Amino acid sequence: MTDLCKHDGLLINVLKEEGQIFPFLDAIFGFLYRRTDFYIVKDNPDGKIGFPVGVAERVVWECFKKWQKLAVDSTAEQNDLKSVMEDDMAGLVIHEEEVVTTDDVGDFSVLPTEPIQEKQDSVEDLTSDTYNGTDCGAYRWSQTSTEVDIKVPVASSVIKSSDVKVDIQACQLMVNVRGEEGNWNTVVDGELAFKHHKDESIWTLLPGKLITIHLEKIGERWWDRLLTTEAKLDLSRLDTTRHITELPPEEQMQVEKVMIQEERKRLGLTSPEHQEKLDMLKKAWNLEGSPFQGTPFDPSVLQPPP
């Protein structure tokens, strides 16, 4: 746990200075923008600057899911975290549930925090390690129509990246883990049932817990197994509902736009387009020659009678 906490002193100072989670995260991503190539899209496969399209987002998502999984599984660690927060961060606002006015939000559109309803009565949770996949003992895997995620549990002694060897090929996957006596043990070794984009694969180690491996499929399709040695899944029993994150960027933007508009309606706020028209009208209200010059701004007078 020492290695995991080695930056806590620095980060806690930033969090205390910012006062809330959102500006804290904004500072982190702002640093990545100003001082790294994190947001640069690599246009040359052989280039050393930037990332291929979608990889930066995937890295962020994988990190989030890694710690989300730990938070769900480790109730005791959550209690420890609460104790640390109570001792070291008294008075610090970590979560706010209410957006009071549009002035507080400014021009920044916030997506609603209520989860999108999914088919939940007959299928596994989307965050399950075996969602549309299976538990193979030494590893377990899940999938969407475009991605595959693999979890390989490791011993508590496996805490450094040098303790593991992950070899991801277009058609082959091998995972070796160092034992307590220094010997190497092969925990996964087999031929992948389908090809994937090798250059977009990612693996991470959650020290003492598990190795996570992410694969991007070539085209949209459902895999009936991960390795050729596995028994085939019944594809008719899979949950084929597409999550919003699987939609093309243009469609995601349209869905998010509708969600924002619906949330603003629920909060009694005007749409961005309507607000823009009101702002223009307000600027022209007292201009020279305006019939409303010198009167309080009241756009309702321009509305036709019911």
- What digits encode the pLDDT tens for the residues 205-226? 989 999 999 999 998 889 999 9
pTM of the model: 0.47
Q: Are 176 and 185 in contact (CB under 8 A)?
A: yes
- Whose CA is closest to 144, among 206, 63, 61? 61
Average pLDDT over residues 54-71: 81
pLDDT digits 0-9 by tens, 165-182: 999 999 999 999 999 888
pLDDT digits 0-9 by tens, 252-269: 677 667 766 666 666 666
In one-letter notation, the amino acid at residue 234 is D
Q: Are 239 and 131 in contact (CB under 8 A)?
A: yes
Fold of 134-237: Immunoglobulin-like (2.60.40)
More confident residue, 237 or 261: 237
- The mean of the pLDDT values for the chain is 76
Q: Say what angle helices 55-73 and 75-88 make with each other, to 10 degrees.
A: 100
**Backbone angles phi and psi of 103, in degrees to 5:** -65, -35
Token pair in block for residue 199: 């250059």
Has residue 5 got a pLDDT over 70? yes
